Amino acid sequence: MTLVSDFIEILVTLLTPEAGGRTSPITPREGTYRPILRSQHGERARVRFLEGPPQIAPGDAALVVAEVESDPSAVLIAGVELDLIEPDGRLVGLSTAVRLWRAAVSA
């Protein structure tokens, strides 16, 4: 049996450096960007970006698909607004959950 991960599609808007955001773009397709999504109630989930445009520059917005690496909890549902937090705790963007694919077990 293989456990398939949860995935979330989110609309991400990166803050500009002047607003405290990143100074460099992210590259979702590389699979190396691993931010934390934080709800308004403080719940957190670590994700790993997998799909989207080749890069997203500070100040830009894009639709991305991310693998949920921690407990997705009930907060990750369509329409929920989430902060995009770097591993160092810095707020670098805002996002809206578009949809979530729950884990499944395959034979």
For 42, residues 6+ apart whose C-beta sits below 8 A from its C-beta are: none
Look at residue 102 and tell me whether its pLDDT is greater than 80. no
- The per-residue pLDDT for range 18-68, each reduced to its tens digit, is 999 999 999 999 999 999 999 888 888 899 999 999 999 999 999 999 998
Chain centroid to Cα 100, Å, comes to 11
pLDDT of residue 47: 93
Report the range of poorest mean pLDDT among 10-14, 30-34, 75-79.
75-79
Mean pLDDT of 68-91: 84
Per-residue pLDDT at 94: 97
Second CATH level (architecture) for the domain 2-106: Beta Barrel (2.40)
Residue 1's pLDDT is 45
pTM attached to this predicted model: 0.86
Residues whose CB falls within 8 Å of the CB of residue 90, separated by 6 or more in sequence, listed in order: 20
Mean pLDDT estimate for the chain? 88
